[in-house]
Amino acid sequence: MVSSDDTQFLALLVHRGLILREVAERVFPEVQRGGDLDRLLAEHTGLSAETIAKWRRTRGGETPELPGYEILGKAGSGGTADVFRAREKKTGKVLALKVLNVDSTRNARTRAAFVQEAKLLEKLDHSGLVKGLGVFKSGSIYFSRMEFVEGQTLLELLDEGHVFDEKAALRVVLSVAEALAYLAQNEIVHRDIKPGNIMLAANGELKLIDLGFAGVVDGADAPAGDTTVGTVQYLSPEQAKGGAADERSDIYSLGVTLFHLVVGRLPFESSDDREVLRMQVMDSLKSPELKSRGLSHHLQYFIEKMMAKDAEARYQNWQELIGDVRSQIEGRDELDFESQIRAKAQRRR
């Protein structure tokens, strides 16, 4: 009788694209009759016993084996790569290893984009960006090293039901805008600003953790040869139409992020990505929550200006946005301080 472990292992190999479904369908009846799964896999695929044993140890490559590193656990997963917390055996330092998944490794364009992102991160140095520490290849595995950031993405917090108050949301915008201003100074546009790419570290710092779609301002080097890149729900109208992105496009995406943080939902929602793209281009911004939740006129102004359909009507650069947001935060802090003083004075009476 086939064991549940063997059944799960066989299904995992098919799911991860390591063996064909047809092979699994031929092997399974023989395993049911008492055949040894590993021996049968070797016979039907020509793979070595060592390879099959490695698949067993690593759950079909879900947990990579990389010389010089002890994998401590999975820290995150995306469409093209998984991120693992790992200890470098030589130094004892804990790092994040971003490992390209099997399907993406087979795609030459995706491999090139992965290497491009890692090399870009390695060149950049800003407290608001996760620090890249190089890209490497071990056997067929492509991986990059990065500083490990303990914390959660803003999307994870939103998915847990957390809605950010106005002050916290503006501090997010200010911090991310400062990191993006640094990218702009290096003639780089991010192209994929969203809560899932912003990490709130355990120490309270905010960091951009993914530059997979980043490129030069004129858009000539869009990853994987695409004209429309990024995450549909956060794309600017010009990106939705397949046009080139500049820093005003990132400002729009950060505006969508600000809306998501304070309202708890996206401004344009549909199960059809094409419909979302149409809405980004054609539909006006509507949100009764912006008024009903007691949010300030200043916050509404920031969202509307950052998300203007016409790029010329938005903030034209990060310095302009940073100046306005910083002034608003400082004004709120001053008002909070004055209200505390008044409250203390009233209690003394």
CB-CB neighbours of 313 under 10 Å: 12
For every residue of 182-239, DSSP letters joined together read: HHHHTTEE-S--SGGGEEEETTS-EEE---TT-EETT-TT-GGG-SS-S-GGG--HHH
Beta bridge partners of 185: none
Q: How far apart are the C-alpha atoms of 115 and 38, rounded to whole Å?
A: 35
Using alpha carbons only, what angle is made at residue 234 by residues 331 and 307, rounded to the nearest 5 degrees? 45
Alpha carbon distance 89, 260 (integer Å): 41
User: Is-contact 232 283, C-beta < 8 A?
Assistant: no
- Identify whether the C-beta of residue 88 lies closer than 8 Å to the C-beta of residue 143: no
d(CA 17, CA 242): 32
Active site residue 5: no
Tell the residue number behind the tokens 């200010």, with chain if given: 174
Residues 6+ apart with CB under 8 A from 185: none
SS3 139: coil
CA 15, 197, 128 angle in degrees (round to 5)?
Answer: 140
Q: Which of 6, 82, 192, 210 is catalytic?
A: 192
Q: Which residues are identified as catalytic?
A: 192
